Amino acid sequence: MIAMQKLWPAIQEGLQKGLRGTLWMLKILVPCSLLTFLIDASGLLGHLDFMLAPAMGFLSLPAEAALPLTVGLLAGIYGAVAALAVLGFSMTETILIAVFLLISHNIIQESLVQARSGLNFLKATIVRLVTSVATVLCLARLLPSGESTASVIAAAPKGVASFSVQLQGWLWDTGVLCLKIFIILTAMMIVMELMRAARVIPFLARILRPLLWLMGVSQRVGILWLTAAVFGLTYGAAVIVEEARAETFEKEEIERLQLSIGINHALIEDGAVFMALGIPAIWLWGPRLVAALVVVHLYRLGVCWQLRRRGGTLGETVPKPVGRSG
């Protein structure tokens, strides 16, 4: 339990972080949303259909999906959410885009973080991208198909009156989205601060041992896995890097951890942001957990196969531990 003298400071800190996080997010969200609205209103995406349609069609998405996907891959999920709020996708298409980006958002920066703590940059990037594509292809066959409104909007005439109406709609929708994000993000920040004040992360790591086993992650790296799962790769980078260097972990152990958290991190904050679009929670957490589980166990099978080819044992052939040098 949290002592009363720690309870209110934790709530205050959560409120402040929620406000700061929302203001910081709005600096990205609003300009990206406005730019997306102007691009959509101009009909530019319609002229690029011949280039975008084949790649997006492979993912069971319309050509317009290239914009939020590109923004999310390079700049993070906030700009992508802004674009999704403007472009009229069906719920199925919104879920597919969200799942792709929950796995592969901000991929350059986060792959660099992973490279600093034990996983090759190219491996981190390729695994996340391939996993995103494979997961979306599987989900596209499970989810009901539905006509998006993006094509309807693109086909509508873009006269002065229609632009004025669209602009008013954009202002209203953006305001509502910002309010939703503030409420959800602040609530999540308060929860995380309360968890930090109560020091429940180590406790959760102990009781989540069965989940770690199921995910194919060593219990010795349980704290690192939970840190990334709750706080994300970027926010938890300092903890992950320092712990990975300070402790004596096997390289194979660290790689399993990194493959898992690369796919499945920032469960609270990233999922909460997409919830503002009305996506059911099961699609924000379920596919990533399953994808991370499959990738890690495929990796373990690959390691075992290599060991059999070499005729060795796991203890004999696992690479040297990752730890501090000097």
Please enumerate, as own/partner, the contacts of 46-55 that have beta carbons within 8 Å and a separation of 24 or more.
46/154
Q: Are 201 and 195 in contact (CB under 8 A)?
A: yes
In sequence order, the 6+-apart residues with CB closer than 8 A to the CB of 200 are: none
Residue 288 corresponds to which tokens in the numbers above? 């990533």
Calpha distance 66→206 (Å, rounded): 42
pLDDT at 181: 74
Q: Which of 186, 272, 265 is nearest to 231 (CA)?
A: 265
Say if 325 falls within a structural domain: no
Calpha distance 271→192 (Å, rounded): 14
Does residue 305 surpass a pLDDT of 80? Answer: yes
Calpha distance 22→184 (Å, rounded): 10
Say if 245 falls within a structural domain: yes
Reported as a pLDDT band with limits 50, 70 and 90, residue 157 is very low
Say if 326 falls within a structural domain: no
Does residue 236 surpass a pLDDT of 60? Answer: no
Domain that includes residue 233, residue range: 4-317
The count of domains in the chain is 1
pLDDT in tens, 169-221: 888 888 887 887 788 778 867 876 787 777 776 777 788 889 999 999 988 78
Say if 322 falls within a structural domain: no
Say if 37 falls within a structural domain: yes
Q: What is the DSSP string of 45-93?
A: HHHTHHHHHHHHHHTT--GGGHHHHHHHHHH-HHHHHHHHHHS---HHH
pLDDT in tens, 2-28: 566 678 888 888 888 778 877 876 787
Residue burial 184-194, b: 16+ Cβ < 10 Å; e: rest: bbbebbbebbb
Calpha distance 273→177 (Å, rounded): 10
How far is CA 289 from each of CA 18, 229, 257, 285, rounded to the nearest angstrom? 26, 10, 13, 6
Does residue 128 surpass a pLDDT of 50? Answer: yes
DSSP letter for 142, please.
H
Say if 72 falls within a structural domain: yes
Calpha distance 88→7 (Å, rounded): 42
Q: What are phi and psi of 249, to 5 degrees?
A: -110, 150
Q: Are 188 and 4 in contact (CB under 8 A)?
A: no
Residue range 308-312: average pLDDT?
74
Say if 324 falls within a structural domain: no
Other Cβ atoms closer than 10 A to 102: 28
pLDDT at 50: 66
How far is CA 139 from each of CA 94, 143, 191, 215, 267, rounded to the nearest angstrom? 12, 6, 31, 20, 19
Q: Which of 234, 243, 22, 225 is nearest to 108 (CA)?
A: 234
Q: What are phi and psi of 144, to 5 degrees?
A: -70, 140
Is residue 322 classed as helix, strand or coil in its secondary structure?
A: strand
Is residue 325 classed as helix, strand or coil in its secondary structure?
A: coil
Say if 135 falls within a structural domain: yes
